[in-house]
Structure 1
Amino acid sequence: MRFDVTDLRLFVSVAEAASITHGAAAANMALGAASARIRGMEEVAGVALLDRERLGVPLTPAGRALLQHSRIVLQQLGRMRSELDEFAHGLRGQVRLFSNTNALVEFLPAALSEYLMKNPGVNVDLQEHLSDHIVRSVAEGVADIGIVAGSVDVASLETFPFREDRLVAVVPRDHALAGRRRISFSLMLDYDFIGLSDGAALQDFLAGHAMRVGRRLRLRVQLRSFDGVCRMVESRTGVAVVPASAAKRLRRIMAIKIIPLEDAWALRRLTICVRSMGDLPAHAARLVEHLRQA
């Protein structure tokens, strides 16, 4: 069975787009040529890789297996080129780092700034995702490094402790809840919420916990930063849930009250995860070590 690199790149593009048309465009290939290549791959494999449906081309079980192996092969080729570049031109590499909201906003900016200053030839592709998506992405080779909340299953990955933080309630100082020493998330759902913008991993996380108790967040305003969220809380527009590290920093300059959440999931042990340190290129392994020590 023989597939070349162009076949694998095309197949990954088609699989991620769930469309031969869009996959061909992403791979800079004519539609006819792309369709012929996919058919050729299926003939060589002796099994269908895609289900041709009216609204797309979802993967068959064999296609999902090929997608995982294709990503691994392409990632290894990229790492090979990166390692060779270290000898030829000085380090030129890229690390794809997926992180949850908490680590991305509160802990990574300073740590990454120091790393990038020490490694001017390396670029970091930093993306925000939910922790379960990050684990899958690292396991499948889509991401080199992940930073996730400790509540997800990372048994298949190599892991290292990163930070520990807690989600807390934030309310105006004169709010009806301000006198409480602790509070449950379900009680907060009786009030208007200030949240992060759609797509923020923490916002999706909180919305999921609201759904688990049969409720919905009553979102009045959504903003892009914890600073903006807490500023709206200070103005008595609503209540919010943010990391304790952000809340303590902003309490110094805003009239807000921090109330610990009593829910078990509020404690966030942040974990670095990789498929294998031994498989990472040198510059990515250095980033892991830097994050562990930062």
Structure 2
Amino acid sequence: MRFDLVDLQLFVAVADSGSITHGAARANLALASASARIKGLEADLGVALVRRRRRGIELTAAGESLRDHARTIMHQVAMMQGDIAAFNSGVRASVHLLANTSGLSEYLPKALGSFLREYPDISLDVEERESADIVGAIAGGAADLGFAAEHALPEHFERFSFGQDRLVLVAPRRSAFSGRRQIDFIEVTDCDFVGLTNTTALAVHIDRHAARLGVRLRLRARLRDFDAICRMVAAGVGVAVVPEAAARRCAQSMPIALIAIRDDWANRRLAICARSFKNLPKPAKLLVDHLRKAVR
């Protein structure tokens, strides 16, 4: 049985986006070519991998298994390419770290920056994922370390705390909500919202909990960073849900109000995690030691 790396890369892109159209765009393939490649995979394997729906696709059990294995293979290929290329640049090792949106934007940059300065022969491959996806990737061997919400971690994962990620509602300072200290998320689901681009882990997290309430948020704008979101809120475009650390930083220079969200999903303890810290490659162990010191 032979697998084409382009096919595997395409299948992961289709699985992650839930759409052959969007997956083809991510893989830089024409839609007709992508569709033919997926059908070719199914024919070669003798099983259905996707179920085609009116709005995108969903994976079969076989498709989910192929996605997990394909992710591991693509990670190993990327690691191989990186390690070989590193001999030209002088870098000799790399660590693959998955992090949720808050970790990537608010908590990790300073610690990772100091790590890279201390270890010039190690490079970092940092990828944004939702906490549940981080768990799956680490369990499947597709990443060394994760930075995720602790409630999503299985018991057998090793971890250590790296702070608390409180999500807060940000509203214009003169809005009807600005005098509130706390609020239930259901109270604001009929408001106009400003959010992150829909491919970010935090956007998926918020949309998922809105769906559990039976609502679809009305997004007036989607942007790539919390500062831009808070500026839109300050301009009166809508309200937003952002990490408290980012909101407090923005509130120093913008006319916005911060309101605590009572819902449990808005208060998350964050942790660095792995299947086993002891069994990590040496570069990853060095990063773990550095991050432990960063939280003391």
Task: Give the TM-score of the pair, scaled to structure 1.
Answer: 0.75
Q: How far 1:217 moved relative to its partner? A: 0.8
Establish whether residue 178 from structure 1 lines up as the match of residue 178 from structure 2.
Answer: yes
Query: How far has the Cα of 1:96 moved from its partner?
Result: 1.0
In 2: Cα distance, 1:197 partner to 1:114 partner: 29
Deviation at 1:124, TM superposition (A): 0.9
Letter paired with 1:227: D
Separation in structure 2 between the aligned mates of residue 173 and residue 65 of structure 1, nearest angstrom:
49
Shift of 1:155: 1.9
2:171/2:258 contact within 8 Å kept: yes
Residue 251 of structure 2 corresponds to 251
Structure 2: distance between partners of 1:216 and 1:69: 32
Alignment-derived partner of residue 131 in structure 1: 131
Q: Quote the offset at 1:242 in angstroms.
A: 0.5
Letter in 1 for 2:220: R
Taking a change above 3 Å as real, the CA distance of residues 237 and 279 of structure 1, as seen in their structure-2 partners, is same
Residue 117 (structure 1) shift: 0.6
Bigger CA radius of gyration? 1
Matches within 5 A, 1:158-237: 158-237=158-237
- Listed one character per residue, the Cα deviations across residues 196-218 of structure 1 (whole Å, up to 9, x for unaligned) are 11211111111111110111111
The sequence identity of aligned pairs, in percent, is 40
Secondary structure of the residue aligned to 2:154 is coil
Match among 47, 52, 62 for residue 51 of structure 1: 47
Aligned length: 260
**2:280 alignment partner in structure 1:** 280
Q: Displacement of 1:250 after TM fit? A: 1.0
Shift of 1:156: 3.2
Paired with 1:140 and 1:149, the residues of 2 have a C-alpha distance of 18
Per the TM alignment, residue 271 of structure 1 is displaced from its structure 2 partner at its CA by 1.1
Residues 233, 276 of structure 1: CA spacing in aligned structure 2 closer, same or farther, 3 A cutoff? same
Structure 2 residue aligned with 1:31:
none
Match of 2:106 in 1: 106
Q: Which consecutive residues of structure 2, in runs of 5 or more, have no partner in the other structure?
A: 13-22, 28-40
Contact map agreement 1:95 1:124 (CA 8 A) in 2: yes
The residue that corresponds to 2:38 in the other structure is none
Counterparts of 1:70 and 1:279 in 2: how far apart (Å)? 21
Pair 1:65–1:114, CA change in 2 (3 A):
same
Instruction: Report the Cα distance in structure 2 between the residues aligned to 1:70 and 1:182, rounded to whole angstroms.
Output: 41
1:240 aligns with 2:240: yes
Residue aligned with 1:278, SS: coil
Counterpart AA for 1:116: L
What's 1:261 paired with? 261
Does the 8 Å contact 1:12/1:67 carry over to 2?
no
Judged with a 3 Å threshold, the aligned counterparts in structure 2 of structure 1 residues 261 and 124 are, in CA distance, closer, same or farther, namely: same
Is the Cα contact below 8 Å between 1:49 and 1:62 reproduced in 2? Answer: no
Q: Does the 8 A contact of 1:51 with 1:60 survive in 2?
A: no
CA RMSD of superposed structures (Å): 3.8
**What is the DSSP-based 3-state SS (H/G/I as helix, E as strand, rest coil) of the residue aligned with 2:108?**
helix
| CA displacement at 1:16 relative to structure 2 | 4.9
TM-score by length of 2: 0.75
Which of structure 1's runs of 4+ aligned residues deviate more than 3 A? 10-19, 52-56, 58-72
Alignment-mate amino acid for residue 229 of structure 2: V
Distance, in Å, in 1 between the alignment partners of 2:137 and 2:232 is 34
